[in-house]
Amino acid sequence: MPRTTDKKTLLAAVAISSLLAAGAGALVGRSLLAPKAETATATAKEGGHKEGEHEEGEAGHKEEAGHSDAEGGKEEPGHVEMNAERLAASGIKLETLTPGSLGAAILAQATVAASPTGSATLAARADGAVVRINKRLGDPVRAGESLASIESRDAAAISAERAAAAAKATAARQTYAREERLFDAKITARQDLEGAQAEVAIAESELRRASSASAAAGVSADGRYITVSSPISGRITAAPAVLGSYVIAGAELFRIADPARIEIQASLPAADASRIKPGDQAMVETAQGTVPASVRSVTPGLDVESRAATAVLNVAAGPMQLVPGQSVRVRITPRGAASTERFSVPEEAVQAVEGVDTVFVRTKDGFAARPVKIGRRGGGRIEILSGVSAGEQIAGKSAFLLKAELGKGEAEHGH
């Protein structure tokens, strides 16, 4: 019995020792492994935080770069900036689009002429010698300005008549005043007063005639010279007057023209003249570009020598590129043909941009490239079928400069 008890006690002690050893081993293992795990966890957390910061930084950098790119790309594709000063210096000429197909317009040769109120021929109004010339060929003049003086015996005679008429008028007025006093005093009869009154009327009429003749002849105040004055403002286009030369009445001395008051005279065959009516729109073609105009009138008959009618065109107000005597070509669009949505423009106005037919439409601050559909060609012009509207302005002459500028801007933007 005692032996059995000792055996049980021994087995219990061994079991307790084993449990204690296992527990101690577990504690030692946890104490050894815990720092490494915590270090790894901390490292992982720190690395994750840094990686997140790195990704956030890259995202912010990308967003900032995208914002910068958005700010930098302000220029619209297909647009060329050009202000009025730069346009004038570039040599690019604008074309105003007016409806009319290539075949509908009537082409005619024309001449720029001064309008009836825009030109004047100054002639000597009396015989005499040219003693003073104040203006030369090409000089500007004002209306009423003196251009030359002629010393003339006719001037002296006209001046004398004016002086005599003035003296007679003065004497007649004095006589009338005296007769009026006598009549009031009942010294003279009424018929004497009425006779004096009639003499005043006759004398004053003679004075007006003499004064008008003196003014028409341009007699100076001293009665010695005939003054040659311009009736309009403009420039001297001819000046045959020679200082010291003797001229007779009616001899031409100067010609004056006002560049702002001109008209276009176009010669038309009878068949074309019958299609044109006053008010039809036209374009005057010059080496510097085109100028809008409208038909003012058409002669009802043909010229005997040329067998052609004459259409008179008024030029639209604006900067003048025309001078009297200049030869031009006009393109008249009859009103019936103007209803079409087609437009006729110079071939140079249409440029190939990346293989697409394009015109450059004038905008507030430059030109916008706009693709168009073209039709027939002929006479240095091309027909636009669609892509533009009436009244718009496009680049005509030297439009290739805008194409080059557009290509240069796109290259810089792509870089």
Percentage of the chain beyond pLDDT 70 is 76
pLDDT tens for 164-182 read: 999 999 999 999 999 999 9
Q: CATH number for the domain including 395?
A: 2.40.420.20
Is residue 51 a part of any domain in this protein? no
Of the given ranges (15-24, 124-133, 312-321), which has the lowest mean pLDDT? 15-24
Q: What pLDDT is attached to residue 411?
A: 59
Q: What pLDDT is attached to residue 4?
A: 44
How confident is the model over 54-65, as a mean pLDDT?
A: 42
Q: With cut-offs at 50, 70 and 90, classify the pLDDT of residue 359.
A: very high
State the Cα–Cα distance between residues 356 and 219, nearest whole angstrom: 72
Is the same domain home to 265 and 247? no
Residue 21 has pLDDT above 50, yes or no: no
Which residue among 332, 355, 378 closes a domain? Answer: 332
Specify the number of domains making up the chain. Answer: 3
Q: Which residue has the higher pLDDT, 179 or 95?
A: 179
Residue 73 has pLDDT above 90, yes or no: no
pLDDT tens for 23-37 read: 444 433 444 334 444
How confident is the model over 30-47, as a mean pLDDT?
A: 41
Structure tokens at 66: 């995208």
Closest by alpha carbon to 390, among 344, 350, 349, 346? 344
Q: What is the pTM of this model?
A: 0.51
State the Cα–Cα distance between residues 6 and 373, nearest whole angstrom: 119
How confident is the model over 68-80, as a mean pLDDT?
A: 51
How confident is the model over 48-57, as a mean pLDDT?
A: 43
Residue 257 has pLDDT above 70, yes or no: yes
Could you tell me the residue range of the domain that residue 295 belongs to?
107-117+259-332
How confident is the model over 9-19, as a mean pLDDT?
A: 45
Which residue among 290, 309, 332 closes a domain? Answer: 332
Highest mean pLDDT among 144-153, 298-307, 345-354, 399-408: 144-153
Q: What pLDDT is attached to residue 5?
A: 44
Name the one residue in this structure whose structure tokens are 């027939």: 376
Is the same domain home to 263 and 180? no
Q: With cut-offs at 50, 70 and 90, classify the pLDDT of residue 156.
A: confident
Of the given ranges (54-68, 124-138, 166-180, 185-199), which has the lowest mean pLDDT? 54-68
Is residue 324 a part of any domain in this protein? yes
Is residue 65 a part of any domain in this protein? no
- State whether residue 153 is helix, strand or coil: helix
Q: What pLDDT is attached to residue 409?
A: 64
The Cβ of residue 215 has, within 10 Å, a number of other Cβ atoms equal to 11
The alpha carbon torsion through 361, 367, 373, 378 (nearest 10 deg) reads: 70
> Could you tell me what percentage of the chain is helix, strand and coil, using 3-state DSSP and rounding each to the nearest 5?
40, 30, 30
How confident is the model over 345-354, as a mean pLDDT?
A: 87
Is residue 37 a part of any domain in this protein? no
Is residue 166 a part of any domain in this protein? yes
pLDDT tens for 278-323 read: 988 888 887 777 788 899 999 888 888 888 899 999 987 655 678 8
Under 8 Å between Cβ of 253 and 123: yes
Q: CATH number for the domain including 172?
A: 2.40.50.100
CA atoms within 13 A on the CB side of 54: 6
Residue 338 carries which DSSP code?
G
Q: What pLDDT is attached to residue 151?
A: 92
Closest by alpha carbon to 363, among 89, 83, 98? 83
Is the same domain home to 326 and 350? no
Is the same domain home to 291 and 243? no
Is residue 19 a part of any domain in this protein? no
CA atoms within 13 A on the CB side of 48: 6
Is the same domain home to 243 and 269? no
How confident is the model over 240-255, as a mean pLDDT?
A: 92
Is residue 174 a part of any domain in this protein? yes
Contacting residues for 202 by C-beta, under 8 A, at least 6 apart = 172
Average pLDDT of the chain, as a whole number:
78
Q: What pLDDT is attached to residue 65?
A: 40
Is the same domain home to 112 and 93? no
Residue 131 has pLDDT above 70, yes or no: yes
Name the one residue in this structure whose structure tokens are 């009665």: 223
Is the same domain home to 143 and 265? no
Which residue among 332, 354, 370 closes a domain? Answer: 332
Q: What pLDDT is attached to residue 103?
A: 59
Q: What pLDDT is attached to residue 15?
A: 45
Q: What pLDDT is attached to residue 336?
A: 62
Residue 87 has pLDDT above 80, yes or no: yes
Q: CATH number for the domain including 320?
A: 2.40.30.170
Is the same domain home to 360 and 294? no
Is the same domain home to 127 and 246? yes
Residue 74 has pLDDT above 60, yes or no: no
How confident is the model over 65-69, as a mean pLDDT?
A: 40
Is residue 24 a part of any domain in this protein? no
Q: What pLDDT is attached to residue 381?
A: 79
Q: Which residue has the higher pLDDT, 272 or 204?
A: 204
Is the same domain home to 140 and 244? yes
Q: What pLDDT is attached to residue 398?
A: 84
**Angle formed by the axes of helices 153-184 and 190-217, nearest 10°:** 160
Q: With cut-offs at 50, 70 and 90, classify the pLDDT of residue 413.
A: low
Is the same domain home to 92 and 138? no
Is the same domain home to 133 and 247? yes
Percentage of the chain beyond pLDDT 90 is 29
Q: What pLDDT is attached to residue 78?
A: 81
Q: Which residue has the higher pLDDT, 17 or 228?
A: 228
